[in-house]
Amino acid sequence: MATATVDLLPETYVELSAPELAERIAGAKAQLGSRLVILGHHYQRDEVVKFADYRGDSLRLSQLAASRQEAEYIVFCGVHFMAESADILSGEQQIVILPDLHAGCSMADMANLEQVEVCWETLQAVNSGKIVPVTYINSTAAIKAFVGRNGGAVCTSSNARKIMQWALARGEKALFLPDEHLGRNTGYRLGIPLAKMAVWNPQEENGGLTDDAIRDARVYLWKGHCSVHQRFRPEHVERVRKACPGIRVIAHPECSWEVCELADEVGSTEYILKRIVEAPPASAWAVGTEIHMIRRLAKEHPDRLVVSLDDCVCMCSTMYRISPQHLCWTLESLLSGQVVNRVSVDPETKRWALDALNRMLEIK
């Protein structure tokens, strides 16, 4: 398990103005120099991500931080499971910090170890064939470790298809968690009928499934979702096409199957970024993902239209918890010799989680 002691933001930081915060963050960062690396996820707000040494998705950021062995401190401006992944991949001499430990992930929290073990025991008892577990990178270290112990692998939204293919070649069936939408979209694009994908609801007895339904399914989908991407609906696609004829709709695979089927393109955060950065001038895009990334892309590429698929702001509220105040406090605490809001994964969990991550990297 990951351990952390929650340190509370001192009131003095709340009162600082934006210019004061920016000046003090920049000053502290300069003083810490190569001892520090700051990671900023794409969904972070601009006033935080501008201080990042690297900007990207969760796994890539963790890998980049691990490559910076001279950095004693890894400050991850993201959410809790991302900091855990960074700690799993980092060197023993590196300390991982999440500026606000309340920055969690609702999707990751939808699958806890006890629930997953109950599910696994039930599926094993009903089935005679081999089941291979796959967990999305957006999961806790404990779930990654469970998957590692049981011969499975981690996946990202970029390589989910490849990892699902591997799992189904290795066993008769696969358990995909914790995002049912990514699992369903991936399975469907591999030719698995929707009827052969059963949803395990941890809040219901026996997952809400009969023994016959369990036997008949080829893929088990954990009932979990991203609170941001689940908000996009088919009517949003229809509305934006009507308002802007010719616009291309690009959706993240954490969106529902119905939305992804209507979209022109479906891809990971990095895929979406690449497509819009490389898009021709005057092209128009409606994007089904988090609003901070969309607004940043629109600002950085004013010669093309980049809008949210939904008029309502689809913001990741937990990502938003990482504020300039928290970042400033974190860095200045390091200067004074104090580490606040450290995230540390215990050795046993780290070992098995690393197995699941390495297995993903080995799959060609």
One domain, residues 91 and 116: no
| Pick from 192, 310, 301, 303: nearest CA to 251 | 310
pLDDT number for residue 117: 97
Q: What confidence tier does 295 reach under pLDDT thresholds 50, 70, 90?
A: very high
pLDDT, tens digit, 9 for 90 and up, residues 35-54: 999 999 988 889 999 999 99
Residue 162: strand, helix, or coil: helix
pLDDT of 5 above 70: no
Assess if residue 356 is contained within a domain. no
pLDDT-based confidence at 3, cuts 50/70/90?
low
Task: Please write the tens of the pLDDT for every residue from 133-145.
Answer: 999 999 999 999 9
For residue 44, the model assigns a pLDDT of 87
Range of the domain at 112: 108-227
Please give the average per-residue pLDDT across 170-195, as a whole number: 97
Same domain, 14 and 44: yes
% residues pLDDT > 90 (the chain) = 84
pLDDT per position as a tens digit, 306-328: 999 987 766 677 777 899 999 99
Residue 93 has pLDDT above 60, yes or no: yes
Same domain, 53 and 81: yes
| H or E stretch at 347 | helix 347-362
Q: Is the dihedral of CA 341, 346, 351, 352 positive or negative?
A: negative
Q: How many domains does the chain have?
A: 3
Residue that finishes a domain, picked among 281, 308, 335: 308
**One-character DSSP codes across 167-231:** HHHHSSEEEEES-HHHHHHHHHHTT--GGGEEEE-TTSGGGG--HHHHHH-SEEEES---TTGGG
Decide if 133 is inside a domain: yes
Does one domain contain both 188 and 264?
no
Q: Are residues 164 and 117 in the same domain?
A: yes
CB of 116 within 8 A of CB of 335?
Answer: no
Question: What is residue 342's DSSP assignment?
Answer: B
In this structure, the number of other CB atoms found within 10 A of the CB of residue 208 comes to 14
Per-residue pLDDT averaged across 82-88, rounded?
93
The verdict on residue 364 lying in a domain is no
Residue 276 lies in a domain: yes
Specify whether 168 is located in the same domain as 57: no
